[in-house]
Chains A and B, each alone.
Chain A
Amino acid sequence: MHKFLAIVKKEVLLLLRDKSGLAILFLMPMTLVFIMTLIQDSTFRTINEAGIPVVLVDNDKDSLGASVTFGLSNTKACSLVTQLDGKPATVESAERAVAEGRFMIGIIIPAGATQAIRANVQSLVELSLADSTMDPEDIPVLKQDSVVITIFVDPVTKKSFVNATVSALREFISQIKSKIIFTTFSEEIEKVIPGKNKSTPADIEIVKYNELYASKDKHFILPNSVQHNVPAWTIFGMFFIVVPLAGSILKEKTEGTSFRLKSLPGSYITIISGKISVYVMVCMMQFLLMICVGLFLLPMLGLPVLQLGSSHLGIIMIALSTAIAAAGFGVMIGTFATTDHQSAISGSLSIVLLSAIGGIWVPPYVMPELMQQLSAVSPLNWGLNAFYELFLRGAGLVDVWQQAFKLILFFLLTMFVAHLYNSVKKP
């Protein structure tokens, strides 16, 4: 125990005297959380709160235009504007506004659109009700005047936003078509059977949708920049201990202390476990600091408060497993490296790559399918997913133990690889 404590004390002293190492460990993730949260906040707000900015030009001035205006105004997905600079939007001004990036999408409902739909429907109804015994010359001809709705799209707009808007438009057009068809049919029936036009309103909503967030304990939080960035950059910062830890192992090799340590009584396991313990403690301090940033500092900048979910035990377990996994990775990199440059570059580069794959930079759910599958190999992703579960989906200890187990397995694997490498490289 004396030896273990001596190693811990030595490592703490070495860390405290490495000012740049400490800066990397604490200031870097904090800075990243601040910057990335502020940058991504507007994007998350666009999607979650204000909706996609859309400019609408209603040249129809009839049922279709009114229905689209009403529908888009009442959906949270869009932030609808029909006036630009105090005047009703025109085709030209709307196109210009989208081109300037003021709006993601511009929708133009052409003049006479409702009228064209009515004419088409009337023709369709007449054709449907035509008597088969009628003179062929008297059989009505199906009119098909196309209604063209123009959509201007800002090139930077995500395809999913465009699809969502087009889908909403289709729904409104479909509703208005149904209404016109129903009304036209009713009128035609009235002609044949007078007094029968006592129908229910055509816009009755036959199928309703009940949209609920699936959550483990009815506790759910919509993803926002804080909920993503605080755990993401905390994990990144924790894994960045790879750089000072690998550097510390390398220094012992190059400065000769490793030689002396090998000649001393006691096992390598005692030495390495003392070192790992200190770096795990550092990781836990990083974690605590970053949680405090999410709880107290970010709200001061007008950002949402970090919501921790309900399982504090689960949070501690995942933070600890992430710290242990990061320490194992650091030991492995330090074992492989033979120069300071190698250690620093391979350490930082591998973390940047694993974090990019693992969904630290952008959340995994906005990644393409292939990258989402690839992200499953990154230990940073395991940690991040566990924090999503805990913070957003109200998960508990039993829901995230698998991720913790994977992180511990990763630690064991890295230690095994380091041991194997040492055995093979033994002179």
Chain B
Amino acid sequence: MSSDVIIETINLQKKYRGSPEQAVKNISLTVFKDEIFGILGPNGAGKTTTISMLCGIFPPSSGKIIIDGFTFEENREDIKKIIGVVPQDMALYPTLTARENLSFFGHMLGLHGKELRDRINNCLQIFGLEKNADIRVSKYSGGMKRRVNLIAGILHKPKILFLDEPTVGIDVQSRNVIRDFLNELNKSGTTIIYTSHHLEEAETFCTRVAIIDNGQIITLGTPFDLIKSHGGAQSLEDVFLQITGVKLRDMNYA
């Protein structure tokens, strides 16, 4: 593993219990330090499964994951301390206020006291939530919830941040705030792994993307290189449609 490599997966496979098909098939990829790496793909392509394995939520059926030189089998706690996770679902307690949610998750991330309070206040200010910090999350708009959801994953200034569809279903203003913040975070040294359906956003936001379908990486490269290498493609969306087709994709529940 090169010193610039922060994540490496080798022949990563996942077959869910009771499922006839593999959700992820032999994914081998390398993510370098300070990258914003996009994992793109249609519904059911295996994006969330891949990210879940990279975060240690569940183990792969086979294959290897190396994160900053650590493996989950040997250094689970070390990995968890350096990663931040922003799940696709609002992973917050709706009846707690934003401040209470962040305080709880901050403690769970090993922060406490003044340091935690300062970080919470700072993040709330950056995301324009300081005035509503003591209102229950259940009363927040979708965009506000997304912002709190994001803050809960970055309070401890992680070395690697996993974002699963962080801007889905929110207004343009919230999306811009989130994107600007993530760019700043990346500049300060956080590597970002990001899944999205929002291809226009991915095109401008990611340094490299992997398009996956049916649990496999179909193509991988910088957005510019991918657009250039696919004849007639004007955008990442064109590349995406050329690779994955125009047929509707729904999850296979069989």
- List the interface of chain A (C-beta within 8 A of B): 2-3, 5-7, 9-10, 13-14, 17-18, 255-257, 259-266, 425-427
Contacts and interface: CB of A to CB of B under 8 A. Distances in A.
Interface in B132-183: 136, 152-153
Contacts of B109: 264-265
Contacts of A261: 108
A263 B92 contact: no
B247 to A, nearest CB: 27
Interface stretch (B55-63, B117-125, B184-192): B55-63
11 contacts: A2-B107, A6-B108, A13-B95, A17-B95, A255-B91, A256-B89, A262-B56, A263-B55, A263-B87, A265-B109, A426-B58
B17 interface: yes
A256 B48 CA distance: 13
A262 B85 CA distance: 10
A261 B109 CA distance: 10
Binding site secondary structure of chain A: helix
A18 B91 CA distance: 19
Given A3-B107, A10-B100, A425-B17, A263 B80 contact: yes
Interface in B33-77: 52, 55-58, 77
Contacts of A7: 104, 108
A426 B105 CA distance: 24
Interface of B: 14, 16-17, 52, 55-58, 77, 80-81, 83, 85, 87-96, 100, 103-105, 107-110, 112, 136, 152-153
B12 to A, nearest CB: 14
- Most central of B52, B83, B88, B91 by chain A CB within 10 Å: B91
Contact of A265 (B52, B94, B110): B110
Nearest to B110: A265
A263 B85 contact: yes
B149 to A, nearest CB: 9
A265 B96 contact: no
A9 B107 CA distance: 11
Contacts of A265: 77, 80-81, 108-110
Contact of A2 (B58, B85, B112, B152): B112
A9 B104 CA distance: 8
A255 B89 contact: yes
A117 B134 CA distance: 91
A262 B108 contact: no
Given A3-B107, A6-B107, 11 more contacts: A3-B108, A6-B108, A7-B104, A13-B95, A255-B89, A259-B85, A261-B108, A265-B109, A426-B17, A427-B14, A427-B16
A13 B81 CA distance: 26
A334 to B, nearest CB: 16
B107 A260 contact: no
A264 B57 contact: no
B95 A18 contact: yes
Given A6-B107, A255-B94, A427-B58, A260 B112 contact: no
Contact of B83 (A2, A257, A259, A263): A263
Contacts of A2: 107, 110, 112
Contacts of B153: 260
B78 to A, nearest CB: 9
A326 B87 CA distance: 32
Contacts of B108: 3, 6-7, 261, 264-266
A260 B58 CA distance: 12
Contact of B96 (A10, A263, A425): A10
Most buried by B among A2, A266, A426, A427: A427
A10 B112 contact: no
A261 B87 CA distance: 11
B57 A257 contact: no
Contacts of A14: 93, 95-96
A264 B90 CA distance: 16
A2 B80 CA distance: 17
A264 B105 contact: yes
Q: Which 3 A-B pairs have the closest CB atoms?
A: A256-B89, A6-B107, A260-B91
Nearest to B113: A2
Q: Select the residue from A256, A262, A264 with max chain B CB neighbours within 10 A.
A: A264
A2 B110 CA distance: 8
B80 A264 contact: yes
B100 A13 contact: yes
A5 B100 CA distance: 13
Nearest to A16: B95
A9 B97 CA distance: 13
Nearest to B56: A263
B77 to A, nearest CB: 5
Contact of A255 (B52, B55, B56, B90): B90
A6 B155 CA distance: 15
A260 B87 contact: yes
A261 B101 CA distance: 12
B162 to A, nearest CB: 8
A11 to B, nearest CB: 10
Contacts of B103: 6
B91 A259 contact: yes
A261 B77 CA distance: 13
B87 A256 contact: yes
B110 A260 contact: no
A425 to B, nearest CB: 7
A415 B241 CA distance: 49
A165 B79 CA distance: 78
B80 A6 contact: no
Contacts of B90: 255-256
Contacts of A259: 52, 57, 85, 87, 89, 91
A263 B158 CA distance: 12
Nearest to A424: B17
Contacts of B77: 265
Interface centre among A7, A256, A257, A262 (most CB of B within 10 A): A257
A7 to B, nearest CB: 8
